Amino acid sequence: MNPTINPSILSANFCNIEKDIKILEKNSITSIHIDVMDGNFVPNIAFGIDQIRAIREITEMKFDIHLMINDPDKFIERFVDAGADNITVHAEACPHLYRTIELIKKYGVSVGIALNPATSIESLRYLYKLIDKVLIMTVEPGFGGQNFIEEMKNKLKDLVTIKEKYNYNFSIQVDGGISKDNVEEIVKLGVTDVVIGSSIFKNNEIEKNLKEIYSALKM
């Protein structure tokens, strides 16, 4: 089955985001990845609730919200209200992760848990049944355009092994450093959802870049 391609609009043209979104829609994209950064959990600041609400008004695409913020619980309701379809929080940012998962589910959106490169998948061992998505960060979160961390392939293999062994339902998403050159290899490991930022928006050639990615995946 083809993986979901989730363009990260962190690399879109912020002066004309509507144009970029329409190009994505025309090229078979059905979901966009929106990075929220608080300048605290990660050393960068991006996308606030009102910006997400404004984008919700111009597209029907699914919103995959990646919260790189400390203590996300107090904002979940507002992100749902702004148009989230999925909310992913970082395990490292949630001292009471079970409670956070329950809170997100209460609002009827899907829930993902992100792991920084140094965080072991073992931290999710007792949560796998509760969640819809595991996001394996393949760069340190905070910025687009970084290099894929090769060791994360072993982490992905370990996660796929567990998913298959216990027949879990969660999807496996990767985020960071994915391009037409490595996407096929990564999807073949068992990844079902791929976030791609700079490689989709680079040189303002979204259509061409996407076609190259689809062709690498034989989609």
Tell me which residue has its CB nearest to ligand DX5: 197
Give me the active site residues, please.
35, 175
Query: How are beta strands 133-137 and 110-115 bridged, if at all?
Result: parallel
Determine if residue 33 is labeled as part of a ligand binding site: yes
Please select the residue that binds Zn ion; options are 121, 175, 183, 187, rule is CB under 5 A: 175
66 binds Zn ion (CB under 5 A): yes
Residue with tokens 């695409």: 61
Site for ligand DX5 in 10-69 (CB under 6 A): 10-11, 33, 35, 66
143 annotated among ligand-binding-site residues: yes
Query: Does 132 sit near Zn ion (CB under 5 A)?
Result: no
182 makes contact, choosing from ligand DX5, Zn ion, none, with CB < 5 to 8 Å by partner type, with none
How many C-beta neighbours within 10 Å does residue 55 have?
A: 21
198 is in an annotated binding site: yes
The only residue of 38, 64, 92, 175 in contact with ligand DX5, by rule CB under 6 A: 175
**Type of residue at 150:** E
Binding mask 83-122 for ligand DX5 (x = CB under 6 A): ----------------------------------------
Q: CB nearer to ligand DX5: give 32 or 106.
A: 32
Q: Tell me if 64 contacts Zn ion by CB under 5 A.
A: no
Question: Which lies closer to ligand DX5 via its Cβ, residue 103 or residue 194?
Answer: 194
The two three-digit tokens of residue 45, written as one number: 């600041």
| 175 annotated as ligand-binding | yes
Written in H, E and C, the secondary structure of the chain is CCCEEEEEHHHCCCCCHHHHHHHHHHCCCCEEEEEEEECCCCCCEECCHHHHHHHHCCCCCEEEEEEECCCHHHHHHHHHHHCCCEEEEEHHHCCCHHHHHHHHHHCCCEEEEEECCCCCHHHHCCCHHHCCEEEEECCCCCCCCCCCCCCHHHHHHHHHHHHHHHCCCCEEEEECCCCCCCHHHHHHCCCCEEEECHHHHHHHCHHHHHHHHHHHCCC
Annotated binding-site ranges:
8, 33, 35, 66, 142-145, 175-177, 197-198
Annotated binding-site ranges for a divalent metal cation:
33, 35, 66, 175
Q: Note the residues at the interface with Zn ion (CB under 5 A).
A: 35, 66, 175
Q: Note the residues at the interface with ligand DX5 (CB under 6 A).
A: 8, 10-11, 33, 35, 66, 139, 141-146, 175-178, 195-199
